[in-house]
Structure formats: structure tokens, C-alpha cells
Chain A
Amino acid sequence: MVKSGYSRILLIVFIFIFSLLPTTTAFAQGQDTIDQRIYDHAGLLSENDIQELEILAKKYSDERETNFVIVTEDDPKPNDVAEYTEDFYDEKLPGYDKPAGNAVILTLDMKNREVYLAGFYKGEKYLGSHRLDLIREKITPFLSDGDYFHAFKEFILTGHAYMGYWTGIEPDSFFFSWWFQIGVPLVLAAIVLFAMLYSSGGRVTVNSATYIDNQHSKVRKHHDIYLRKTVDRRRKPKNNSNNRGGFGGGGITRGGHSHSGSRGSF
């Protein structure tokens, strides 16, 4: 009896220590990283999905030294997905390098069916509002279909990929497409070879200047008379095509952290 009581106490202590252990490790890594990146408050994902996304998010967060965070909410307070995201950042401070540090947050507002992407610090530098727009456009079809897992996965992968591009470079540029990278060398080689074949038999090296007698060639009479004028006007194209579902772009949180942003409905 005594023995069993003793072992019971031991068991409780062990459980207590083990239950404490993850938290302690999280605190130990506190300066570098956080333990949770997926906050599925709306319950859109299965336990396995969350596990998988956590592993994926950790891996890519480490590579870019920027935390990829995903938040889902059934009834966000305040009832604005952008403000909610800002408050979330101020509260959780999910920075990678320091609490108020590098992060990219995807927030899903299930009540208003809106999505908001925000980049903080390094996240803001490499994923500006325009790049976030591109990512949002990529994941919106998945969100509309209710395939949240793939949408989140795509968010992490694309966000990671886009962070690799120099700032100011258009990641979706044709320059990075396979048809451009294959096509241009082929076309160039064809042009060069055509020129080589064409000139292999000797080229004509005389031109209009060779035989002209400049002393006796001239314009004898000329005029340029103004006739009329037409003016066409068209509206300036909007340079921000992202603000379909509200104000686009970033802002500053109540806590004073500047961020980029992209907002849309799904």
C-alpha cells in the first residue's frame, strides 16, 4: 500500500514534470521561435492536419527566420479581420527573431468570410502588400472550395518561395517562367544561327551612303503645315487592384508595429 502510494506520487510528479516540459522548452527557445503557429479557433482542421501544418510551418519559418502563422476565427473581436490580425500580433507577439519580430500572419474570418494576410518586419520587407495580394489570389480558390488545409499549405510554401526573391522583383514575372527560360535561349540561338548562315556566303556591305553624291543631293522645297489636333482622354487605370473587399495594404498596429497587408473575401 505504501509502495503503491509512493509510486502514485512519483507518477503524479512525473506527469507534472512532463506536462511542464514542452512549455519549458518553448520558453527556452523563446528568443528564436514559438511553439504554436496554427491557431485553429474555428475548428476547420483535423488534428492530423494541424500537426502536419505545424511541422511544415516550423521548417519554412526557420529557413526564412520569419514565422508563418495561421489564425482561424468564427467570431473575431473586433469584428474586422485586419484589426483582429493587428491585435493578435500585439497580443501574441509571434516574431521569429524576437517577440515583436519577423512574422507573416494569415487570418481567416469565417463570420464575414474574409481573409487577411499581414507581413511584419522581415515579413513586411519581403512580402509587401503586392506580394501578399499574389499569395491571396493563389489561395482564394482553395478557401472558396472549403479546402482549408491546401490553402494554408499553399500559403506557407508560396510565402516561403516569394521571400526568396529580391525586394522589388515581381515573383510572378514571366522571367521566372519555364517557357521564358527555355524559349528565350532557343529563339536567340535560332536568330544567331540564322544570321551566321545568312552571312556565311558574304554580306552586302554597301548602303545608301556609299554611292550618294551629298553635294548635289538636297531638299529643294519643303513645308510642314499644321493642320489640326485631336485629343483623346481616358481614365487612369487604378494601380491598386487588390482592394476588392475593403481597404487593402498594410498599416500600423495599436502596439506600433508597421505591417504590409492584403485583404479579400472568399
Chain B
Amino acid sequence: MVIQYKCPNCGDDMRFDSHSGMLSCASCGRKDNIQDLPDEFITNHFDEEEAKQYQCENCGAVVITDADTTATSCSFCGAAVVLGDRLTRALAPAKVLPFKISKDEARAAFKKWCKNGLLTPKGFMSANRIKEITGLYVPFWLYDLNAQAEVKAIGVRTRQYSRGDYIYTEKKYYDVYRDITMDYSRVPVDASEKMHDELMDKLEPFHYQDMEDFRTPYLAGYIAEKYNYDDEAMFPRVKDKISGYIDSYISSTIRGYSYVNYKQRNISTSKRHAAYVLLPVWMVYYDYDHHVHTFAMNGQTGKVVGKPPISKKKVVAWFTSIAATTFVGIKIVALMMGGGLLW
């Protein structure tokens, strides 16, 4: 089923406005507070259908989406549509982080980012070939985790002193024991099959204080995906993500030793809670040198990630100038201290 938001004043299509955070009408300027709108669509229990065709209520055209899309635009009249039956209870997000950056701002921010690329080719830096820029709500799981660690180790303190003709090295061995509990809150892991994990990890951090309870109008005007993996399926990935954090926490509790030999590390990570949320991402598709380069931008902070094309010429130029400058610098210092011009 297709959900559209018609302006009660003029009947035009309404969409989410990233500046005011409200549902707004481009024609008459009406703005509605999303949290106050009736909650009809998400509390209803829809059956999950795998149908891929919807009819736009505006123009009657058929909206074709893939099975994971929950919000899109009609390709004929451009009306923002939300596919309500894709947001059935099990799949309905608990929270949403609305877009803070509008499409124009995203475009400008991306251009600025391209210009700052030190190794990107000249043609790329002008950023005038943005093919497409799409606002996407990416499904994420936010995990609240608890990790328990029991660590047994031998810590060694070394000390050197000299007496008479001898140098003494003293090593003191300690039996070290730690029982640690660590809580991590709202660690994000993207739950969409389409999204590149590494790209999504680099988009962090998202600031959760702007998070809102989920309402479908937030999706109006954007594309939204439903999750492909549930929180159980993604648990190994989040565990992997925080394992480095746990290690550094453990070593931060064992201080004052020259070195530490770990004898035993029992770490068990458990999930306290997992919340399904939608986080805002601008996807930028950029045509350069007959290739489409894909970039992602954090829709809240404007941070851009993605592999830009690299200019070999610039790499060589940077390498040469850094090496040459350093060489001259060392040479000047060496000459001042009395070294010869030709070593």
C-alpha cells in the first residue's frame, strides 16, 4: 500500500524539510509537526507482501521498487511515496534520525570536499559532474552491549641501577587479575545488504540526541530501505566491532608495568538491547572518466566517505616535493653542523 501526504490546504505533495524538521508543502508553505500527526500507519499491522508494484495515488502510474525499499518517489510525477506495508510491525523502525542537511547543502558540501582532495585529479576537483544525489534512510541496528572480561596475567616491572662496575637489571613479577564489566551503548551496525559495511563504518559518528520516534512522514521525499538482517544476524559483526574497544579498555586497567603477559582472557559479550533505527545518508553518484564513483555523506554531520579517483601525477608530485624538501632540510642542518656537501 502506498502512503502519500497531501497538503490539507492546497492538495500538493508534502515532503520532509530538513531545516525545520517538519513535513512541509512546497506550494503553499504549510508545515506540519510530524510528532503530532496521527499515527495511523505504523500501529496498523500489515501483512508483509513481497509485491513489487504499487500504484501512485497521484497520477496512477505504477511505482516499481525492489523488495527492500520502503520509501521512494514516483518516477512519473515525482510525488514522495511511502510504502506502508513494507513497514509492518516487525520491520517498523523504533527511531529515526531525520536529515539535517538538505539536498542543496549536500551538493555544496560534496563539491567543497572534492576541492579539498589533495590527490584527486583536476577534473574531479571541480565536481561539476554529479550524476545523482539521493537521500537515503539506511536501516541500522543500535546495540546496547555488555561485555564481561576476566583477565589473568603476569605483569613485570623492570628497574635498572648500577653499583660499582656492574649494571643490575631487576625484574619484579606480579600476578595480575581483573574482573571487568563494560557497557557500550548504541553501537551502530548497518543492516542493509546493499550498503558497503566499510563505507558505513566511516560515516560514524551520528549524534543520537536528535533522534525522533519513528513516524512515516519523515520518509516523505527520501528513499528508505528495510533491513535485510535482523539483530541476531548482525550480532557477530557488532561483537567484532567492539572487540578492539574492549581490548583497549582492559589494557587501560593494567597500568604501571613494563610489559604484561596475558595468561587468560575470558571475554563474553551479550546484547542488552537492539533498536532498529533509520539513519540519514546522502548517496552521491559522480561521473568521472567513464566511471561512476559512489560516495556517501552523513546526512546529519556532512562527513563524506568513498574512494575518490587518484591522480598519479599528483601522487608523484607530492612524493617528490616532500622527499626533496626533507632532503634539503636535513642537508642544511648537516651543513650547519659541519657535514660535507657530498656527505
Is the C-beta of B204 less than 8 angstroms from some C-beta in chain A? yes
Using an 8 Å CB-CB cutoff, how does the interface string of A225-252 with B read, 1 for contact, 0 for none?
1111111111110000000000000000
Q: Which residues of A contact B172 (CB under 8 A)?
A: 226, 228-229
In the complex, chain A residues 173-195 whose Cβ is within 8 Å of any chain B Cβ: 175-178, 180-182, 184-186, 188-190, 192-193
Q: State the Cβ distance, B188 to closest chain A Cβ, in Å.
A: 9
> Chain A interface secondary structure, helix, strand, loop or mixed?
mixed
Nearest-neighbor residue (CB-CB) of B153 within chain A: A224
CB pair B318–A193 under 8 Å, yes or no, is yes
Chain B residues whose C-beta falls within 8 Å of the C-beta of A178 in the assembled complex: 343
- The 8 Å CB contact of A176, one of B245, B323, B339, is B339
> Can you name the residue of chain B whose Cβ is closest to the Cβ of A214?
B183
Q: Which of B245-266 contact A (CB under 8 A)?
A: 245, 248-249, 253
A2 within 8 A of B: no
Task: Report if A223 contacts B (CB, 8 A).
Answer: yes
**Are A216 and B183 CB-contacts (below 8 A) given A188-B326, A204-B201, A233-B166?**
yes
Interface size on A, residues (CB 8 A): 60
Question: Which residues, 31 to 50 on A, are CB-close (under 8 Å) to B?
Answer: none
Task: Find B174's partner among A212, A225, A235 (CB 8 Å cutoff).
Answer: A225
Q: How far is the CA of A161 from the CA of B335 in the complex (A)?
A: 12
Q: B245 and A185: CB pair below 8 A?
A: no
Residues of A within 8 A of B244 (CB): 208
The verdict on B53 contacting chain A, using a C-beta distance below 8 Å, is: no
CB distance from A132 to the nearest CB of B (A): 16
Do the beta carbons of A228 and B173 come within 8 Å of each other? Answer: yes
Name the B residues within 8 Å of A193 (CB-CB): 315, 318-319, 322
Stretch at the interface among A13-21, A88-96, A142-150, A163-171: A163-171
Find out whether the CB atom of B327 lies under 8 angstroms from the CB atom of A181.
Answer: yes
CB–CB B305/A196 < 8 A: no
**Cβ–Cβ < 8 Å partners of B323 in chain A:** 185-186, 188-189
Contact of B184 among A186, A196, A213, A231 (CB under 8 A): A213
Main secondary structure of the interface of B (DSSP, over half): mixed
A164 nearest in chain B by CB position: B338
Neighbour of A211 across the interface among B178, B187, B305, CB < 8 A: B187
Q: What is the chain A residue whose CB lies nearest that of B188? A: A211
Tell me the bound Cα distance from A102 to B157 in angstroms.
52
Is residue A222 within 8 Å, beta carbon to beta carbon, of the partner chain? yes
The reply to whether B170 and A230 form a contact with Cβ atoms under 8 Å apart is yes
Query: Across the interface, which residues of A come within 8 angstroms of B170, CB to CB?
Result: 229-231
B339 contacts which chain A residues (CB < 8 A)?
Answer: 164-165, 175-176
- Quick one: given A193-B319, A208-B245, A232-B168, are A201 and B326 in contact (CB under 8 Å)? no
Cβ-based interface call for A1 (8 A): no
How far does the alpha carbon of A171 sit from the alpha carbon of B343 in the complex, in Å? 11
Is B313 interfacial (CB-CB < 8 Å)?
no
Q: Which of A178, A182, A217, A226 has the most CB of B within 10 A?
A: A217
Interface membership of chain B positions 293-306, coded 1 if the CB is closer than 8 angstroms to chain A and 0 otherwise:
00000000001111
B51 is an interface residue with CB less than 8 A from chain A: no
Residues from chain B with Cβ under 8 Å of A197 in the complex: 119, 310, 315
Query: Which residue in A162, A180, A219, A233 is a CB contact (below 8 Å) of B178?
Result: A219
Complex CA gap A218/B319 in Å reads: 47
Give the number of chain B interface residues (Cβ < 8 Å).
Answer: 66
Residues in A neighbouring B183, C-beta threshold 8 A: 212-213, 215-217
B183, B203, B325 pick with most chain A CB within 10 angstroms: B183
The answer to whether B50 has its CB under 8 Å from any CB of chain A is no
B176 touching A224, Cβ below 8 Å: yes
On chain B, the residues within 8 Å of A177 by CB distance are: 343
Given contacts A189-B319, A202-B306, A226-B172, contact A169 B179 (CB under 8 A): no
A161 contacts which chain B residues (CB < 8 A)?
Answer: 340
Task: Determine if B182 and A222 form an interchain contact, defined as CB atoms under 8 angstroms apart.
Answer: no
With CB as the reference atom, state the residue of chain B lying closest to A186: B323
Q: Give A210's nearest chain B residue, CB to CB.
A: B205
* Cβ of A3 under 8 Å from chain B: no
Most B CB atoms within 10 A — which of A171, A215, A232?
A232
Are A196 and B118 in touch, CB under 8 angstroms? yes
Q: A175-B334, A202-B306 are in contact. Are A181 and B343 (CB under 8 A)?
A: yes
Are A184 and B322 touching (Cβ within 8 A)? no
Contact of B177 among A182, A222, A232 (CB under 8 A): A222
Q: Tell me whether A204 and B202 are in contact in the complex, defined as CB-CB below 8 angstroms, given that A182-B327, A221-B179, A229-B171 are known contacts.
A: yes
Are A224 and B155 in contact (CB-based, < 8 A)? yes
User: A196-B119, A230-B170 given as contacts; is B330 within 8 A of A165 (CB)?
Assistant: no
Roughly how many angstroms separate A188 CA and B322 CA in the complex, as a whole number? 8
B248 lies within 8 A of A211 (CB): no
List, in ascending order, chain B residues with CB within 8 A of A176's CB. 334, 339-340, 343
Least Cβ–Cβ distance between A3 and chain B, in angstroms: 62
Pairs A–B under 8 Å by Cβ, sample size 16: A164-B340, A169-B338, A176-B343, A177-B343, A189-B319, A189-B326, A196-B119, A201-B305, A202-B303, A208-B245, A217-B180, A217-B249, A227-B175, A228-B172, A235-B166, A236-B167
Closest 9 CB pairs of A and B: A202-B305, A165-B338, A208-B245, A185-B326, A164-B338, A213-B183, A216-B183, A221-B179, A189-B323
Kindly list 5 other residue pairs between chains A and B, CB separation below 8 angstroms, not including A171-B338, A217-B180.
A188-B326, A196-B318, A211-B185, A222-B177, A225-B174
